[in-house]
Amino acid sequence: MRKFTQIDGLVAPLDRANVDTDAIIPKQFLKSIKRSGFGPNAFDEWRYLDHGEPGMDNAKRAPNPDFVLNQPRYQGASILLTRENFGCGSSREHAPWALEDYGFRALIGPSFADIFFNNCFKNGLLPIRLPASEVEALFALVQATPGFKLRIDLDAQTVTRPDGKALRFEVDAFRKYCLLNGFDDIGLTLRHADKIRDFEARRRIEQPWLFA
Amino acid sequence: MPKTLYDKLWEDHVVHVEEDGTALLYIDRHLVHEVTSPQAFEGLRLAGRKPWRVSSIVATADHNTPTDHWDEGIKDPISRQQVETLDANIHESGALAYFPFRDLRQGIVHVIGPENGATLPGMTVVCGDSHTSTHGAFACLAHGIGTSEVEHVLATQCLLQKKSKAMLVKVDGALGRGVSAKDLALALIGRIGTAGGTGYAIEFGGSTIRALSMEGRMTLCNMAIEAGARVGFIAVDDTTINYLKGRAFAPLGDNWDRAVAHWRTLVSDAGARFDAVVEVDARSILPQVTWGTSPEMVTDVKGRVPAPEDFADPVKREGVERALQYMGLTPRTPIDRIAVDKVFIGSCTNSRIEDLRAAAAIAKGRRKADNVKLVLVVPGSGLVKRQAEAEGLDKIFIAAGFEWREPGCSMCLAMNADRLEPGERCASTSNRNFEGRQGNGGRTHLVSPAMAATAAIAGHFADVRELI
C-alpha cells in the first residue's frame, strides 16, 4: 500500500449529502477482475453526458460541463471535500479504488459510511472527519478561492488552511501506523498466526459444529 | 455486569487486541461471490499465500448471472469472465460449498447461506457485500467487507475491527394487516435516517420482532445497512432454532443439542446497557413507499411527495430538490397517483418464499395493469424457486402476466440484462433507490412484495390493504 504522510493538495468540493458508492463507481464497471483503471469512470453518471460502459474510450466521451469535477479550476485536485454520509450503500472497494485512481489522496467531510471509511484505509486514501461547521467553512473558502489548497499532515493529525488555521482530526492509532508506513494489513496480522491457530483449536473443541 | 448480545458475539471472537482497541476477530463463515472476490484471490496468489481455512467458505455466482435463457449461458463476455474466474478460484482453493451458475442450490448469497444452514447463530459472517447484515437475523455478527478485507480473511481467517457502539431498536405492538418487515425497515430508516445507525451495531428487539418469521427478520436485518449500521441482529429464540433444524449444514445429533444449548445464550442480558435506544410502535406503521433517491426519503401509501421547502436544513433541501428532479415528481403529488412502468419482486431483501407468497396472494386471480410493461419475479435461489413451484405460485404469477425467472440479484443492481431504461419508474422490493441503481436514469420506489404486486395490478402505487 502507498504510504500517506503529508500532502499539499488542491481541493475540489462535492456539495451533496449521501453520495453513495453506486454514484462513485456505477455497477457496470464492477465486472472488471482487476483493481486498477477505475479512475476514468469515477462518478461516471454525473461526469459524462452519455452512458458509460466498460471498454469505452473515455477520452472521446463528452464530459458534463455542469459537474463540478469537470471545471478547469479543480483539475489535478487531490483532496475531495464532501458532505454527510459520503460513501454510503454498497461495500464495493471499487469506490476507493476509483477515487484513488482518479488522483484523490484524502477526503474531508463531516461523516462517512462505515464500510467505505474502512475500505479507504486499505488503499492509502485518508478519510478525514471534521466538525460540520469546519466543513461548512471549507466549502465557502474553496468556492471563493481559485486554487484553494490544504495541507494534510497525518502524523500531526492536522488539516492546515492557507490562512494558517490548523484543524485537528482524529484517526485510530493502528490505522495511522499502517498508513504512515504503507504496511500491508495481512503481513501484520500474520505476525499473530500462532495466536490465531490457538484460538481456532480451542474453538474447534468448544463449538465443533462450526467446523463441520 | 449484564452484557448485550453484541458484547457476547464480539468477545467470543477476539483473538488479539492492539493498544488502541483494534481487535483481531476470528471469522467463522466467509461468503464469496464473483464481483468482489477476483482481486482478493489474485492478491493472495501474488503474495504466494494460501487460504487459511477453506471449509469456512461458501460461494455462489449471483450478481452477474442472467435470469432467463440459462441454456444459452452468460452472453455478456465480461460478466461471463467474472463468473468463470470465480469457478476457477474456487476450483483451485476449495470450499465448504460452491453453488455455481445453474446449480439447483445457486442463488443470492444472502439467501443460500441461511437456507442451507451455513449461517448459524453466534457466527461471525462476512462477505464482500454490504447486505451481509442479513445474517444477523440468526444472532450472527455479520457484515459487509471490501475486497482487501476479503483477501485478509482468506489469508488469516481474521479481520481487524474496532468495536462499534450498541443501539437497541425496540419494536412493540402488532404490525397491521398488509404491513410487513419491509415496511417496518423503511419506516425506521425514514425516522433515524440513512446515517442514523452509522458507528452502531443495531440489535432489533421487542414483541414485534419476536413475532416475525425468519424471513421477516432477514428482511429487517438486511436493511440495517441502509440505516447506516454495518450490522443488525436479533436474539435467538424458538423461531431461530426451528428454522435451522434439519438444514443441510446444520449440526446433527449430540452436536445439535450442544449447539442449541449455546445458541440459547445468545440474547442480551436483562439490564444490559445500550449507547442508544430507539423505540418504535409497530401499530403506527402503514405500508411504505419511497419517493426519492435515498431510502430515508420515504412516506406511507396515504402520503404525498414532499416539497423542498418542508426541509429547514439547506443541504437536505437541496438533496430533496435534486431527488424530485431525478425522480420526475411534483411536490404534493399523492403517492397513490404515481404510475409505474415496471415492477421488480426479488433481491436479498425480499426474494424468499414468504415474500413470494405475499406477492402471489395479491396477484391471484388478477392481471397486471396494461400500462405496466414488465413485472419481474426473481426467486432468491433455486431452492426457493422449487418450493414456490411446488406451491403453484409460478402459475399464479404467470396467469397475472408476471414473468417468472431464474434466481439471482437481477434488477436490484442491474449488473445483468435486467434493468430499467432511462426515465422508467419501478416499484421494487429491493433495498436501494439510488440514482441509476436499477439502470442508468431509472427511477426506483422501494416497497414490500405485497405493495409491489399491488402496484403491478393497479398500474400505480395503491394501498395493499384494499386488495386483501
- Residues B250-259 have pLDDT tens digits of 999 999 999 9
Report the residue from B55, B251, B440 with minimal CB separation from A45: B440
* C-alpha distances out from residue A212 to B53, B114, B263, Å: 12, 15, 17
Best of B25, B55, B149 to disrupt the A interface by mutation (most A CBs within 10 Å)?
A: B149
pLDDT tens digits, residue range B181-230? 999 999 999 999 999 999 999 999 999 999 999 999 999 999 999 999 99
Shortest Cα distance, chain B CAs vs residue A107, angstroms: 18
In the predicted structure, residue B77 carries a pLDDT above the cut 80: yes
Q: Given this model, what pLDDT does residue B45 score?
A: 96
Q: Which residues contact A151 (CB under 8 A, 6 or more apart)?
A: A6, A7, A8, A158, A159, A160
Average pLDDT value for residue range B367-395 = 98
Shortest Cα distance, chain B CAs vs residue A170, angstroms: 12
Q: What percent of chain A shows pLDDT beyond 90?
A: 98
Is residue A186 within 8 angstroms of chain B, CB to CB? Answer: yes
Residue contact A89–B155, C-beta within 8 A: no
The A residues from 101 to 140 touching B (CB cutoff 8 Å) are 111, 113-115, 118-119, 122-123
Instruction: Calculate the average pLDDT of chain A.
Output: 97
Is residue A153 within 8 angstroms of chain B, CB to CB? Answer: no
Residue contact B414–A85, C-beta within 8 A: no
Is residue B80 within 8 angstroms of chain A, CB to CB? Answer: no
CA distance A184 to A176: 13
Q: What percent of chain B shows pLDDT beyond 90?
A: 100
Q: Given this model, what pLDDT does residue A212 score?
A: 76
In the predicted structure, residue B237 carries a pLDDT above the cut 90: yes
Shortest Cα distance, chain B CAs vs residue A36, angstroms: 10
CA distance B240 to B253: 18
- Can you read off the three cell numbers belonging to residue B86? 470465480
Shortest Cα distance, chain A CAs vs residue B401, angstroms: 29
Best of A21, A189, A200 to disrupt the B interface by mutation (most B CBs within 10 Å)?
A: A189
Is residue B26 within 8 angstroms of chain A, CB to CB? Answer: yes
Q: Where are the alpha helices (DSSP H) in B129-252?
A: 147-156, 181-192, 207-211, 214-222, 238-244
Nearest CA in chain B to A193: B156
In the predicted structure, residue A1 carries a pLDDT above the cut 90: no
Contact residues on chain A for B319, CB-CB shorter than 8 A: 16-18
**Strand, helix or coil for residue A99:** helix
Report the residue from A18, A119, A203 with minimal CB separation from B148: A119
Q: Given this model, what pLDDT does residue A53 score?
A: 95
Select from B114, B75, B116, B71 the least CA-distant residue to B97: B116
Report the residue from B123, B194, B434 with minimal CB separation from A85: B194
In the predicted structure, residue A184 carries a pLDDT above the cut 90: no
Residue contact B436–A208, C-beta within 8 A: no
pLDDT tens digits, residue range A11-55? 999 999 999 999 999 999 999 999 999 999 999 999 999 999 999
Average pLDDT value for residue range B62-73 = 97
Contact residues on chain A for B158, CB-CB shorter than 8 A: 189, 192, 196
DSSP string, B361-409: HHHTT----TT--EEEE--SBHHHHHHHHHTTHHHHHHHTT-EE--SSS
Rg (CA), chain B: 21
CA distance B165 to B185: 20
Report the residue from A27, A33, A200 with minimal CB separation from B157: A200
The A residues from 17 to 46 touching B (CB cutoff 8 Å) are 17-18, 20, 22-23, 26-28, 30-35, 45
CA distance A68 to A64: 9
Q: Given this model, what pLDDT does residue A172 score?
A: 95
Q: Where are the alpha helices (DSSP H) in B108-196?
A: 109-115, 147-156, 181-192
Nearest CA in chain B to A196: B15
Q: What is the ipTM of this complex?
A: 0.96
Contact residues on chain B for A49, CB-CB shorter than 8 A: none
Q: Given this model, what pLDDT does residue B30 score?
A: 98
Cα dihedral sign, B350-B352-B354-B357: positive
The A residues from 51 to 80 touching B (CB cutoff 8 Å) are 51, 54-55
CA distance B220 to B212: 10
| pTM for the whole structure | 0.97
Shortest Cα distance, chain A CAs vs residue B465, angstroms: 31
Residue contact B152–A189, C-beta within 8 A: yes
Q: Given this model, what pLDDT does residue A2 score?
A: 87
Shortest Cα distance, chain A CAs vs residue B130, angstroms: 5
Contact residues on chain B for A195, CB-CB shorter than 8 A: 15-16, 24
pLDDT tens digits, residue range A56-101? 999 999 999 999 999 999 999 999 999 999 999 999 999 999 999 9
Q: What percent of chain A shows pLDDT beyond 70?
A: 100
Nearest CA in chain B to A27: B415
DSSP state of B318: H
pLDDT tens digits, residue range B124-161? 999 999 999 999 999 999 999 999 999 999 999 999 99
Average pLDDT value for residue range B16-43 = 97
CA distance B259 to B251: 7
Q: Which phi and psi (to 5°) does residue B149 adopt?
A: -75, -30
Select from B83, B398, B105, B458 the least CA-distant residue to B247: B105
Give the helix/strand (H/E) hosting A181: helix A173-181
Half-sphere exposure of residue A166: CA atoms within 13 angstroms, side-chain side: 7
Residue contact B130–A173, C-beta within 8 A: no
Instruction: Calculate the average pLDDT of chain B.
Output: 97
- Can you read off the three cell numbers belonging to residue A39? 479512475
CA distance B325 to B323: 5
Select from B90, B106, B95 the least CA-distant residue to B41: B90
Select from B259, B141, B26, B161 the least CA-distant residue to A198: B26
